[in-house]
Chains A and B, each alone.
Chain A
Amino acid sequence: MSANLYIRRRTPFLLFEIDLVKATDQQLLEVSRGLGIGLNLQEMKAVRQYFRDKKRNPTDVELQTIGQTWSEHCFHKTFKGKIKAGEKEIDGLFKTYIVKVVEEINPKWCFSVFEDNAGIIRFDRDYGVAIKVETHNHPSAIEPFGGAATGVGGVIRDILGVWADPIACTDVLGFGPLDFEYEKLPTGVKHPKYVYMGVVAGIGSYGNNMGIPTVNGAIYFDESYTGNVVVYCGCIGLLPLKKFRRNVTPSDIIVLAGGKTGRDGIHGVTFASAELTGKSEEISRPAVQIANPIEEEKLKRAIIAIRDLELASAITDLGGGGLSSAVGETAKRFGCGAVVELEKVPLKYEDLAPWEIYVSESQERMLLAVPLANLEKVLEIFENEDVEASVIGKYTADNILQIYYQGEKVADMDIPFLFKPPKTTKKAEFKPVTFKEPFFPEPKNLTETLLQLLVSPNIASKENVIRSYDHEVKGNTVLKPLQGEWAGPNDAAIIKPLKGSWKGVAISCGMNPNYGKIDAYWMAASAIDEAIRNNVAVGGRRIALLDNFTWGNPEKSERLGSLVKACEACYDFATAFKTPFISGKDSLYNESPLGPITPTLLITALGIVPDIRLAVSMDVKAPKDSIYIVGKTYAELGGSEYYKLKGFVGRNVPQVRSANARKIFATITRAIDLGLVKACHDLSEGGLGVSAAEMAFAGGYGMELYLQKVPKRNVSRNDFALFSESNSRFLVEVSQEAKTEFEALMNDKACAEIGKVTKTQRLCIYGLNDKAVIDASLSDLSTSWKRTFSSGVLA
């Protein structure tokens, strides 16, 4: 390290100037590394030029501020930058594929999209629903409990950051196999079982303590998640749209409220924008914050009170980048400058350098802009809730960010410069995969195969996890994650947020990482289809989507290539389904000594249920009812759980035929509204076999089904018909009285009655040659399904 580049300023506290003006290119990179700000040469050169023009050297506070603001985590350089993909040049993935959907569809019900901490849609005339899903992969890999808990805490603050009251959480997790061999773990990688226990406990702890029901989620297991755990934390909130305030004017006061600031969470964003290595733990442990949900609960009460009294002009959370992001982004958004006095920030302990105070990501803090006239009242509200709140500065009419510490000016930068990092151009390459369709004979005993599938970790019941989350608090959970006495898996959860209204919010998700191994395009398409059909299955419609990408290092061209493909699918299918993206987040650089992560796109769907009294659960309700399959079955087993069980990946990944799918979704919605649907369950991992089993044991009745009657194409084997994972399919229970009407509704769709609900407690499925291929008791099916996580791997 070129120590002579760092010049200590004569101040009673630690402050350095960095001799950037004279620094060589080599030294620029050393400074970037030395300060841990993660900027590349092109960016460091832009910084040098800026300070050469200013004819002075930057302080450490300034460089740190730039480092935070320009980090991948804060600025999303990959999604905003240019990408060269062969002949094609994409000017921003985000603009080209994600935002374009909402621009083209332009629905009236989108209130605020990709502008604030969370997306907001209209719920009814007066209320809006805000939703955000965050990734917290890197911190959870280092410290599973704290990483996951602060992930939840962070996303709840995103919801508070749009003045919404949190009403539900959704969490989707990905772990390595829980029986991973200890000997094979590289240094610095924690065992999946340890990570699993910590993450699940962290999520439960935060949501439960804050009293926000965790109502939706999923858990996936994949080898590639061993070194890179996947933690998606989502939160949904409700806000009276009239109370939504964002109109900062110069001279508004900057109020910092909530927890004290400490050294936890320093450089979280830079850490999140780098690969994990054997040394990550040692170097980056301070990057993980410490959670205190009760602090956030109090903060929430105060913020809602301030919102209702309309006392503040803007609000934002302190997340990645701490004060540096929150102050900078607010000033930029409202075309202001800001003056901040760092000594006014309450600290956990003495001796923090000014740059540490400015970039610390300590939890449970929110930043408000308050007109001077309302300041006293705002501070009083915080005090009544036992929340510390401090005036730390004000917004100004110029475009300059000025930071002081104990009277000394420690930063002075133009805000426009801060938000104009040099645009990067990255190269993307599309590499076809080499997987082939496997050839193997049809197993003789498919009942055994079905039981094995029910045991497999991606399908098995997650009841133990779901029950460790409070999914009932607030008393508004109409459709619960576990259905009824036998705890079947509902496709989506429904919340009834308003006392005087039957309107509900349906929350569901879709994720198919295994398809991503074969084809990122169809993986993304499938995730979108799955999220939507889960929502449709319970009665949701007018669906909005969220995209959450977890990818490997985008500097590597084939990783970026698959990201481009997934984004293309996002555009194609969200447009086709008329389901706009309203928010999202990406987590890149998910690489560990065990290699890159399987490209994983989580799609969260938020639907509206006009009247929750018509909501549909997945359990069969009565013997003699008819069971219909809606949607065509293809020989699409590439990436399926069935192939996985047999040790293959395969090639024929499920596709989405959007024109047909749209019609199917609309008709299911219509049938639900007409009250014709007694139960509805989507077909996903494990296909028809698993779906039928779940419906049966959840309802406590058997089923007799005939594969011959299933509408299908090129499917000539019983196992393929049973376990194909073709998209856009449902199993629907219809009473004898409703049959005619239901069939008339479905007339031109791929739909057929394939059997009946029976009083006998057995699932019997007859094969293509009309012989029984599945014959299992409900208790065997449900015992297998529940076994994995109640004893098995965790014993």
Chain B
Amino acid sequence: MKREEIKVCVLRVGGTNCDAETKRAFEELGVQTDIIHANEVVRRRNLLQYHVLVFPGGFSYGDYVRAGAIWAKWILAKLGKELKAFVNENRPILGICNGFQVLVEAGLLPSFSKMSPYPEATLTMNLPPGYNCRWIYLKQENQGKCVFTWNIPKGKVLHVPVAHSEGRFLFTKEKQDQFLERLYENDQLVFRYCDKKGEYAEGSFPTNPNGSFHDIAGICNAEGTIFGLMPHPERAFYWWQQPDWTRQTQMPQYGDGKIILEGVIEYLTKKF
């Protein structure tokens, strides 16, 4: 499949607010990208026309109840059939920030074996509490299963921003060791918070900006096709979005966000 044939669907509902910059980033990668209101997808039943589905950042439906919970239930109720088909055909799905919360609430992540009827993890209130907007470092942990990050060398440190108040990744206490083991076994761990040199945050703020268990910032499903992360690659895409560009004499054209988004495009061009 040629790059320009690839169609990305950036889905939105009331409260979604990172759709435009997400579309801009994908378009820069040379793929067709549409921002579509979920209402319209329900009306036109056209989800399967797309090769990649993106749940962007924002506060879908105000994030009342729990972050991502309403949109997750909404989508299962209204587009459940298409979504399942999308997943079963191993078409890639990306969730950024609120999108990650939606995927977890919908049972699509971590999804150890198949779609779970209930959330197996949560992205809950930050510790320390409150909204936090800052640049952090991520370490690539995946052995190659995740179709979004397969081309990023394991152990590479990336610089991207986070901005959220509910990003603390947790499993239930009783199962957390067992689930963590499964993440490793299935190669589902993708990003962990670390410092500039790549040392894990070990829970310390602000290196780990939200108190996530095991410094988890992003995971994929067991198939490697569904990927969610709290940081915003679309805000670290161009050089001029970097926090320190005024200090540099030479800047690479793109930031680290680009490599996070382009893996899936290359995956599709190779696979299909």
In the complex, residue of chain B having the shortest beta-carbon distance to the beta carbon of A699: B247
> If A294-B59, A467-B133, A484-B247 touch, does A612 touch B163 (CB 8 Å cutoff)?
no
In the complex, B179 has a CB within 8 A of chain A? no
> If A204-B131, A294-B59 touch, does A472 touch B240 (CB 8 Å cutoff)?
no
**A464-488 interface code vs B (CB 8 A; 1 in, 0 out):** 0011111111111111100111000
**Contact partners of B40 in chain A: CB under 8 A:** 384
Binds A, one of B11-19, B84-92, B112-120: B11-19
| Residue in B25, B59, B134, B247 whose CB lies within 8 Å of A619 | B247
In the complex, B132 has a CB within 8 A of chain A? yes
| Cα–Cα, bound, A142→B14 (Å) | 30
**A495-525 interface code vs B (CB 8 A; 1 in, 0 out):** 0100100000000000000000000000000
| Residue in A295, A472, A483 whose CB lies within 8 Å of B161 | A472
> If A384-B40, A475-B21 touch, does A496 touch B243 (CB 8 Å cutoff)?
no
| Cα–Cα, bound, A298→B60 (Å) | 11
Binds B, one of A91-99, A208-216, A568-576, A643-651: A208-216
Whether A615 and B246, one on each chain, are in contact in the complex, defined by CB atoms closer than 8 angstroms, is yes
> If A384-B39, A385-B14, A615-B246 touch, does A472 touch B163 (CB 8 Å cutoff)?
yes
**B5-37 interface code vs A (CB 8 A; 1 in, 0 out):** 000000000111110110011000000000001
In the complex, B55 has a CB within 8 A of chain A? no
> If A385-B37, A467-B132 touch, does A484 touch B244 (CB 8 Å cutoff)?
yes
**Contact partners of B161 in chain A: CB under 8 A:** 472
Whether B17 and A468, one on each chain, are in contact in the complex, defined by CB atoms closer than 8 angstroms, is no
Most chain B CB atoms below 10 A, which of A293, A294, A613, A619: A294
**Contact partners of A470 in chain B: CB under 8 A:** 131, 133, 163
**Contact partners of A499 in chain B: CB under 8 A:** 24
CB neighbors of A among B31-55 (8 A): 37, 39-40
- Count A-side interface residues using an 8 Å CB cutoff: 42
**A193-205 interface code vs B (CB 8 A; 1 in, 0 out):** 0000000000010
> If A211-B58, A384-B40, A496-B240 touch, does A472 touch B246 (CB 8 Å cutoff)?
no
**Contact partners of A466 in chain B: CB under 8 A:** 133
Whether B246 and A617, one on each chain, are in contact in the complex, defined by CB atoms closer than 8 angstroms, is yes
Whether A621 and B247, one on each chain, are in contact in the complex, defined by CB atoms closer than 8 angstroms, is yes
**Closest chain A CB from B62 CB (angstroms):** 4
Whether A386 and B14, one on each chain, are in contact in the complex, defined by CB atoms closer than 8 angstroms, is yes
Whether B247 and A209, one on each chain, are in contact in the complex, defined by CB atoms closer than 8 angstroms, is no
CB neighbors of B among A292-321 (8 A): 292-295, 297-298
SS of B interface (majority): mixed
In the complex, B153 has a CB within 8 A of chain A? no
**Contact partners of A101 in chain B: CB under 8 A:** none
| Cα–Cα, bound, A143→B119 (Å) | 37
| Residue in A473, A476, A480, A483 whose CB lies within 8 Å of B17 | A473
CB neighbors of B among A197-256 (8 A): 204, 208-211
In the complex, A751 has a CB within 8 A of chain B? no
In the complex, residue of chain A having the shortest beta-carbon distance to the beta carbon of B24: A499
Give the size range of B's interface with the partner.
35 or more
| Residue in A384, A468, A478 whose CB lies within 8 Å of B131 | A468
Whether B246 and A616, one on each chain, are in contact in the complex, defined by CB atoms closer than 8 angstroms, is yes
> If A211-B58, A484-B244 touch, does A294 touch B14 (CB 8 Å cutoff)?
yes
**Contact partners of A210 in chain B: CB under 8 A:** 17
Whether B244 and A469, one on each chain, are in contact in the complex, defined by CB atoms closer than 8 angstroms, is no
In the complex, B262 has a CB within 8 A of chain A? no
Most chain B CB atoms below 10 A, which of A295, A466, A476: A476
> If A208-B131, A294-B61, A469-B133 touch, does A475 touch B234 (CB 8 Å cutoff)?
yes
In the complex, residue of chain A having the shortest beta-carbon distance to the beta carbon of B40: A384
Whether B62 and A485, one on each chain, are in contact in the complex, defined by CB atoms closer than 8 angstroms, is no
In the complex, B130 has a CB within 8 A of chain A? yes
**Contact partners of A295 in chain B: CB under 8 A:** 14
| Residue in A298, A478, A699 whose CB lies within 8 Å of B14 | A298
> If A298-B14, A386-B14, A475-B21 touch, does A480 touch B243 (CB 8 Å cutoff)?
yes
**Contact partners of A385 in chain B: CB under 8 A:** 14, 37
Whether A475 and B59, one on each chain, are in contact in the complex, defined by CB atoms closer than 8 angstroms, is no
| Cα–Cα, bound, A480→B232 (Å) | 16
| Residue in B24, B62, B134, B234 whose CB lies within 8 Å of A209 | B62
In the complex, B150 has a CB within 8 A of chain A? no
In the complex, B192 has a CB within 8 A of chain A? no
Additional A-B contact list (8), CB under 8 Å, known A298-B14, A471-B133: A204-B131, A292-B62, A297-B17, A468-B130, A474-B20, A474-B21, A475-B235, A619-B247
Closest CB pairs A-B (n = 3): A211-B17, A475-B21, A617-B246
Which residues of chain B have a CB within 8 Å of any CB of chain A?
A: 14-18, 20-21, 24-25, 37, 39-40, 57-59, 61-62, 130-134, 161, 163, 232, 234-235, 237-238, 240-241, 243-244, 246-247
Q: Can you report 25 residue pairs joining A to B where beta carbons are below 8 Å apart?
A: A204-B131, A209-B17, A209-B59, A211-B18, A211-B57, A211-B59, A293-B59, A294-B14, A294-B15, A467-B133, A468-B130, A468-B133, A469-B131, A469-B133, A470-B131, A472-B232, A472-B241, A473-B163, A473-B235, A474-B20, A475-B237, A477-B241, A484-B246, A499-B24, A619-B246
